[in-house]
Amino acid sequence: MTIVGIRGFRDILPGDVERWQFIENTTRKILEDFGFKEIKIPVLEKTELFARSIGEDTDIVEKEMYSFLDRKGESLTLRPEATASVLRAYIEHNLYKEEPIKKLYSIGPMFRYERPQKGRYRQFYQINAEVLGVEDPKIDVELMVMLLHLLKRLGVRRTDLSVNSLGCSRCRPQFRDSLRSFFETRLDILCPDCKRRLKTNPLRIMDCKMETCTKVASDAPSILDFLCSECLTHFDAVEEMLRTFEIPYVVNPHMVRGLDYYTRTAFEISSSELGAQNAIAGGGRYDNLLKELGGPDIPGIGFAIGIERLALLLEEREGLFRFPKVFVAALGSEAQNDAFRLTTALRLKGIWVEMDYGDKSLKSQMRRANKLKADFALIMGEQELKSGSATLRDMKTGHQEEIDLGKGMDELIEKIG
Ligand code: HAM
């Protein structure tokens, strides 16, 4: 019996992977232009890290983590997101002592045990960006501008930005109380999970995916009516700068995000072209998280983009593929040896060259040159071998000319451009 991959875990095959490479290369360039440095973090962490940061009552921690006991009985988890790991590394390596502001990005796989469907997988990839050490609302807007710029550069046409403020430890308790009173009077409509959440963390009801809960939540009080003056000033500044940059956005006072660590600004970008799983990116501030994880009292903000969803949006995009410059077609063992030497020499000069292995007919070799979409074919036969020459064929126009290989590869390199 053959062994197949795990449900929700995908192979990204050549033909698809070019889109991913384009996404990753463009991301690196733009993030680095905005001052970000890459950080590589492990895929496995202590379970406690995620339970403490993402929150015990979130869907991610309650239902979606890949957790297991290692051989020594310690509970470990495949990371469901990157923020917690980046902050753990930031604290562990005292990165805050190096510079007051750190901008860190990472690209890699995350794991969540969700029901797989188009755009939702159990192993999925995120581009993750975090800024530590800036309280100024300019950074909130800087991140949104950068994110939208990146999406535009990648060729994503339609995006919708939603923003909200989730308040802080001073004003959120009042909002939580008001939510609790609101849902208490509608207890019978809530799902069993939300009935429990009402006691532990009523904000989580706002993020429940059950249709009945979503419907009740749409009439819930707005957090914006509860913001303290500092949170309000911060949010006003964010809105004002978004307008200055002429960035279209909507304020969604019911957006709480699926992770518990957020304070103040939260934002999401979705695309109507994506169907049910329409969130491309999400993020926000987490001004208390570093302290809560045992680190210094330093504010933070970040976002993550789902690469699979980006790749879906770029499906039609052309011009992402590279093709060989030359296909060397050789006839007879002597010519094949010469061709192999020439192919290798050209490759060592950084030119993409292909040739066949084994003794193949010219027709079969030219078929392969066509299939690989090589720009040129270089035909080396017994006859050419004697005169030290080869025939160069432009595969698009069909134009052929003799190349003298006796004096080296210069003429050939010049002709193929
Ligand atoms: P998140 O909203 O949970 O945020 O995930 C961010 C993005 O990851 C989503 O908008 C979506 O594009 C993608 N994504 C999430 N789950 C899946 C899945 N099962 N399959 C495919 N794509 C998925 C976070 O993870 C936060 N750590 C973001 C952040 C960084 N906040 C502050 N810093």
Architecture of domain 17-171+227-313: 2-Layer Sandwich (3.30)
3-state secondary structure 234-259: HHHHHHHHHHHCCCCCEECCCCCCCC
DSSP codes joined into one string, 75-114:
EEEE-S-SHHHHHHHHHHTTGGGT-S-EEEEEEEEEE---
- Report which protein residue has its CA nearest ligand 1's atom 8: 306
Residues 85, 87, 91, 96, CA torsion sign: positive
Close Cβ partners of 347 (under 8 Å, ≥ 6 residues apart): 353
- The answer to whether the CB of 44 is under 6 A from ligand 1 is no
Q: Which of 124, 207, 314 to mutate to test the pocket of ligand 1 (most atoms within 8 A of CB)?
A: 124
Q: Considering only CA atoms, which of 61, 2, 30, 4 is closest in space to residue 260?
A: 61
Provide the pLDDT for residue 363: 96
C-alpha separations of 167 from 20, 70, 161, 180 in Å: 36, 39, 19, 17
Q: Fill in the amino acid letter for 8.
A: G
**Domain boundaries for CATH 3.40.50.800 within the chain:** 326-416
Please answer whether residues 83 and 261 qualify as being in contact, where contact means their C-beta atoms are separated by less than 8 angstroms. Answer: yes
- The answer to whether the CB of 112 is under 6 A from ligand 1 is yes
Q: What is the mean pLDDT of each run of 10 residues along the chain (417 residues)?
A: 96 95 97 98 98 94 97 98 98 96 98 96 98 98 98 93 97 96 93 91 91 93 97 98 97 95 98 90 98 97 97 86 96 92 96 94 96 96 85 96 89 91
How many CA atoms lie less than 13 Å away from 69 in the CB half-sphere? 4
- The answer to whether the CB of 300 is under 6 A from ligand 1 is no
**Domain boundaries for CATH 3.30.930.10 within the chain:** 17-171+227-313
Q: Which of 39, 45, 81 to mutate to test the pocket of ligand 1 (most atoms within 8 A of CB)?
A: 81
CB neighbour class for 256 (10 Å; exposed up to 12, middle 13-18, buried from 19): buried
CATH number of 326-416: 3.40.50.800
Q: Which pTM does this prediction carry? A: 0.93
- Report which protein residue has its CA nearest ligand 1's atom 25: 81
Please answer whether residues 249 and 159 qualify as being in contact, where contact means their C-beta atoms are separated by less than 8 angstroms. Answer: no
Is residue 19 within a helix (H) or strand (E), and if so which, with residue range?
helix 17-33
Provide the pLDDT for residue 388: 87
Close Cβ partners of 333 (under 8 Å, ≥ 6 residues apart): 359
- Report which protein residue has its CA nearest ligand 1's atom 15: 306
